[in-house]
Amino acid sequence: MALQPTLAVVGATGSVGTVMLELLSSRRNVWGEIRLIASSRSAGKQLTCRGEQLTVAELTPEAFDGVDVAMFDVPDEVSLQWAPIVAARGVIVVDNSAAFRMDPEVPLVVPEVNREAVQYRPRNIIANANCTVMAMIMAIAPLHHEYGLRELVLASYQAASGAGQFGVDTLHDQLSKVAGDRMLGSRPGNVRQAVGDDLGPFPAPLALNVVPWSGALEPLGWSSEELKLRSESRKILALPALKVSATCVRVPVVTGHSIAVHAVFGSEVDAEGARQVLRNAPGVILVDDPESGEFPMPIDAVGTDPSWVGRIRRAMDDPRALDLFVTGDNRRKGAALNTVQIAELVAAELAR
């Protein structure tokens, strides 16, 4: 290994991969060579990273010769197939898919919350958390350490880019179709007519609508996204009995997942105490002054690193419960940034 480890970015041409390259270009550099890898469809493309022009290589086992750390942002089934192949070659894989998150031999890491978990990785794979979990857990973890978390009731407001660039393009296409017709949204079905069949990755029109569905259908009517909020929160916080109920909803926002959180703790809470905890929490920005119009919103959080937290209130009927609202950039901390942060933890370890 060189003094600075070699990094591979797998899925470099995708929506999150693009943000990974931006982050690698703007953060303090810890890497020697950076190698870009993607499917055969994208191989040969030229991309810029750290001011260098790089050619995308095709995803083959040999492409990882000499690589120390690989960040994967590819569909679950591609990770499921390729991460073990790459890990078996001695590469430490940081994977942003859902394929390995619940594997007991794969740590699920949010550096501000459980950075120590990165060290136990018998499969040479480290998982990155779901983008909706991420925004929320950044605010909840420091509150848990102060008050002892018992239960979460969550409702999400998820952006189109959670479904990739196809989701973003679909939302923009639909907005162009509905803008300018002032009668749309006032009669049943007229938005459906205007939007037509171009639903993209969504089960219904997203423009002028909210769609209470995200992910795949799981047993008992749950969506996969809702179950991830439960299982991943439990794993990251090391609270296997945490009670979690979530309803996941897609909204016509480009980027920035928001979550309305009702959190019940083991001890009494107070709103000002919670604000003080969050003011001191890493990766969190407190925006909580409704009188001045300050609350967390996607149009402000997009393109920034932290989770934006506000609307902090102690529940009227439960001195142990807090209500709050969180927004985070689902492509940055929710995906690319956290993956890069984990990879940097590994780089620091390798450099020792």
Q: Name the residues annotated as catalytic.
A: 131, 257
Q: Which of 283, 287, 276 is nearest to 341 (CA)?
A: 283
DSSP string, 261-288: EEEEESS---HHHHHHHHHTSTTEEE--
Neighbour count for residue 247 (Cβ, 10 Å): 17
Does 162 show up as a binding residue in the annotation?
Answer: yes
Told to check if 299 binds a second copy by CB under 8 A, we report: yes
Which residue in this structure is represented by tokens 């459906």?
192
Told to check if 255 binds a second copy by CB under 8 A, we report: yes
Structure tokens at 115: 């950075």
- For residue 250, the 8-state DSSP code is B
- Which of residues 73 and 226 has its CB atom nearest to a second copy in the complex? 226
Told to check if 85 binds a second copy by CB under 8 A, we report: no
Q: Which of 158, 182, 349, 144 is nearest to 263 (CA)?
A: 144
Residues 306-325 within binding reach of a second copy (CB under 8 A): 310-318, 321, 323-325
Alpha carbons 341 and 283: distance in angstroms, whole number: 12
Cβ at position 156, least distance to a second copy in Å: 8
Q: Is the CB of residue 129 less than 8 Å from the CB of residue 101?
A: yes
- Name the one range near a second copy by CB under 8 A: 34-42, 70-78, 253-261, 335-343: 253-261
- Name the one range near a second copy by CB under 8 A: 32-40, 68-76, 133-141, 296-304: 296-304
Alpha carbons 213 and 86: distance in angstroms, whole number: 34
- Which of residues 51 and 180 has its CB atom nearest to a second copy in the complex? 180
Cβ at position 84, least distance to a second copy in Å: 30
- Which of residues 146 and 294 has its CB atom nearest to a second copy in the complex? 294
Told to check if 304 binds a second copy by CB under 8 A, we report: yes
Q: Is the CB of residue 239 less than 8 Å from the CB of residue 108?
A: no
Told to check if 192 binds a second copy by CB under 8 A, we report: yes
Told to check if 240 binds a second copy by CB under 8 A, we report: no
- Pick from 132, 258, 330, 338 the residue near a second copy by CB under 8 A: 258
- Name the one range near a second copy by CB under 8 A: 39-47, 101-109, 257-265, 340-348: 257-265
Cβ at position 160, least distance to a second copy in Å: 8
70 SS3 class: strand
- Which of residues 253 and 346 has its CB atom nearest to a second copy in the complex? 253
Cβ at position 179, least distance to a second copy in Å: 3
Residues 195-234 within binding reach of a second copy (CB under 8 A): 203-205, 208-213, 217, 220-223, 227, 230
Cβ at position 239, least distance to a second copy in Å: 12
Alpha carbons 248 and 180: distance in angstroms, whole number: 29
67 SS3 class: coil
- Pick from 60, 303, 348, 349 the residue near a second copy by CB under 8 A: 303
Cβ at position 221, least distance to a second copy in Å: 5
- For residue 216, the 8-state DSSP code is -
Alpha carbons 159 and 167: distance in angstroms, whole number: 9
- Which of residues 35 and 250 has its CB atom nearest to a second copy in the complex? 250
Told to check if 297 binds a second copy by CB under 8 A, we report: yes
Q: Is the CB of residue 318 less than 8 Å from the CB of residue 270?
A: no
Alpha carbons 70 and 44: distance in angstroms, whole number: 19
